[in-house]
Structure 1
């Protein structure tokens, strides 16, 4: 869970969240070609093993390369460096086209330089990476996704096997990963809808891959995708949660002025969305907003501003924010007994 480390009221915080999710989207991919049985190359056991190897590769390897990012009919080029040195992860993502933008991650902080040159410092729990693959468990996805092999392809001059995580309905997005056959690093992936149409694509055009320098980083905390389900406490409850999504986290974000923003996170074990609740409604979102595949829906209720935001379809965040309600004080007291 990321926290903006400087004062951000809801409208500004929303823009930061949307921009951040857009930049940090997991790697995305081209159409796979059917396997050529005549090549005689030994194949990995299956999709589950490939996904496990991919997550380990992202966590443990050094890699540096140029990526292209295709979204909303716009093509951007980026330089990515990921290094592990003495058990610490250092990452840098720099835009090579359009406005100057940079995101740098070191230890437990992320520094974003926005197009206007304004820096934003972000705290995070050590899980997020520019290629976010942590915690994907095929066995936990079967009710709402199909996980299967989709063939093979050649990316950045390297042979890859292609794994698809295809959503079974319109409430979530899936992925199509091109996984390097030698190192298991994802070299390209698509964010896809239930018809396997790509919404965003991210691909290495050139890449250098090597072993870590020294010890691997410690695994800290638990990935959101595998966090245990919990129940809402306090004043807020959520009815008619989008099918398959469960509440896995609730915390309070204290602002510099002493006010509190409540944060609830829901996941279906692959996709996730957050609900933010704030008493300051002056700059709140009424209705919907989107940047690329990241959607948000907001409304006011009982003097509070509610915003649901995530890399999920619009109908999912609309249903999420519509199902929130504030309990009366007597209901809260009765529920705590």
Structure 2
């Protein structure tokens, strides 16, 4: 993973990439939705079917369109292109308003051009994509979310069914997907809080969809949302983990100067946050930072820089980073 020469670039780049990739899986308030009924609330099988079709459509179809993204009273327009070439996914996201920004995903890397023109290149795990819908399993969400049908709506001139994934507490965000009846693509989605209020809003205003000419991409690896829980090994412990979240991944990322950043990922099977631990203290994050619905909290601990970041509420990342301990100092911190 190469995120530039300085720690400040690493922090800024991480937040930018998370913001852009998460934003495409989130966003736009639903005007004119049909009210749900008791019968629709019981249609868990229908919700699961639609979510599974949506994940497959996002992965395997060719599509291109213009999206509008509303957050913090700012409206942005973006162009998204997803293409399957010889079984490999190629994606491109370009801002059409405001500062020039672009994200390109192809093969094993993601390239992000920041507003100041600074390029960032990041290795990817083979699962992440701009419309991230992989691995959503309603049966695995019941403790922390309510999954139900929310009626129908018309988006970009196309009929959609609306599925809500509503958080049961304030430690996580949920989604409201408007799923195209013909192609199963999510044409509109809301990132919502516990009260179903939209935090970010995203919607296709125009879209063209077609089946790829060549073979469909093969699934590689396991989505984080369905990864088995694991336990922390080595020198780090995680106390007071936010309710419902489990550690599912630990890896190490080598920096250009030879230092190692340890990365731990936690998920509740829908939302996720990461904790990054680095011995490079220069320009580290102390306190809190936000970009839209992506929140980060950082602190130092015995010569290490700790940062928790994710598309979760601020209190979640603050609790997460506050519970990190060195094993040999767990009783004294």
Where does residue 17 of structure 1 map in the other structure?
A: 14
Unaligned 5+ runs, structure 1: 38-42, 332-337
Paired residues, number: 323
**Gap change, CA 1:234 and 1:157, over 3 Å in 2:** same
CA contact (8 A) 1:153 1:159 kept: yes
1:236 and 1:57 map into 2 onto residues whose CA distance is: 39
Where does residue 334 of structure 1 map in the other structure?
A: none
Where does residue 29 of structure 2 map in the other structure?
A: 30
TM-score norm. by structure 1 comes to 0.92
The offset of 1:145, in angstroms, is 0.2
Matches within 5 A, 1:167-316: 167-316=167-316
Classify the secondary structure of the residue corresponding to 2:306: strand
RMSD of equivalent CA atoms: 2.0
The offset of 1:120, in angstroms, is 1.3
Matches within 5 A, 1:14-163: 14-25=11-22, 26-31=25-30, 33-34=33-34, 46-163=46-163
1:106 and 1:163 map into 2 onto residues whose CA distance is: 30
Deviations 1:72-91 (A, max 9, x none): 11000011111112101111
Query: For structure 1, which segment, 117-126 or 152-161, has the greater mean C-alpha deviation from structure 2 after superposition?
Result: 117-126
The offset of 1:30, in angstroms, is 3.3
1:33 and 1:165 map into 2 onto residues whose CA distance is: 15
The offset of 1:20, in angstroms, is 1.0
Deviations 1:157-199 (A, max 9, x none): 0000000000000000000000001110000101000000001
Unaligned 5+ runs, structure 2: 38-42
1:45 and 1:145 map into 2 onto residues whose CA distance is: 15
1:147 and 1:36 map into 2 onto residues whose CA distance is: 12
Query: For structure 1, which segment, 66-75 or 273-282, has the greater mean C-alpha deviation from structure 2 after superposition?
Result: 273-282
TM-score norm. by structure 2 comes to 0.93
